[in-house]
Structure 1
């Protein structure tokens, strides 16, 4: 938000979305240009700016020139330190798309992660190598270069199910086109999909609905097109301490344990795949 405030770009809302392959910043109802502003700039003291005949002297002339105003338009005001001359001027706002070309590289470079990396011979550090940059203002490409990579109106679908290029002609079609290519951009929708799948499986097998919220939040950022499938393991492993089995499944395997009730595990687990169920083995 600070970058937009610094350049006086008004908008209604900013939303941030994330998947394993993409970070998305979506700005809603952004203004077409900066706010116009009125500035009053303090100049030299009146005593040195004008002579006794009220004619402007060199300090006044230089100040007017530096501010791009006519010397006749300078104004005189009383201050705590005496009389000073001021230049008042209106600054017309620049087009938003031009400013976004400057802002977006700064936003990307400012992002910090617990672990980051270099790649190739480039100096930028990021959580993973950046493969493409989609940047649009309505239907126009926001032009900039980051680390040798040009922004464009091209993105890509799901890595396995729809890896081809996708041209995004306007911001309004972004979500629909990605969904058709098996990418659910909104993590809340992915979470709802996972919960619905798990609840349906548990209902079918007669288990108890126990979903670890922390694990759920982690899982939804590991998948772009989530589907739940049921797996099983040998009953003999139920002889191990329940907490050990739960820890292994949740933390190491990223599986959801299946409970008969809150005190009893079943020899089953639910795994969330980043794929269609028909490709699950």
Structure 2
């Protein structure tokens, strides 16, 4: 199965450390998480418990966010946030160490909202610098940094694939080439991007794909997006990675839709 379950948005009726086993019981061998700890540098016991839950469940961690701040509170990353830049830097070695222990090699760096008291240019300069640092931190384990356009946050400046690819180009020019686009088809579609054109023109830049249907951000088949078509075309153009299930469950069985799909 080519899907990986985002256990930070799915299976949320269970405690976080029970979700990997629940994903396995539902038939999945892979999971991904947003940053699962309260701060950038969690205690060893908390990290051990997280890694142990993955191991005991027998699932592969395929993706992990760097600390992005208080996501429920509206934060969308620390990468370009001057006042919290040190928190992001403090997080780098922890993320790389978890990747080394789990075999995870893809790490999502949410860029961060625009902040009062500094200019967009200042934030973008810092954002590039910090993404370069992130790339170097995970390079030693063969890791890749992912950069994601996001919807639903007006202050978040990366809304289209073009926005993110522009930053990715700058990061590469500054010495870190292990950075790729996280193509979340839901976010791109909701933001008005031409997802089909993004796939045709930029699949080679995809480091990961995530899906949810729109409107609603619920299971595939609950909205209007041609997700199966988009995934199939991405595969035809060379994407061979997992597809992240990053949607809000609206049905008793959040994975019932899979049986109706041909294998992609």
TM-score calculated relative to the size of structure 2: 0.26
TM-score calculated relative to the size of structure 1: 0.25
Higher strand share: 1
In our comparison, the structure showing a higher alpha carbon Rg is 1
Higher helix share: 2
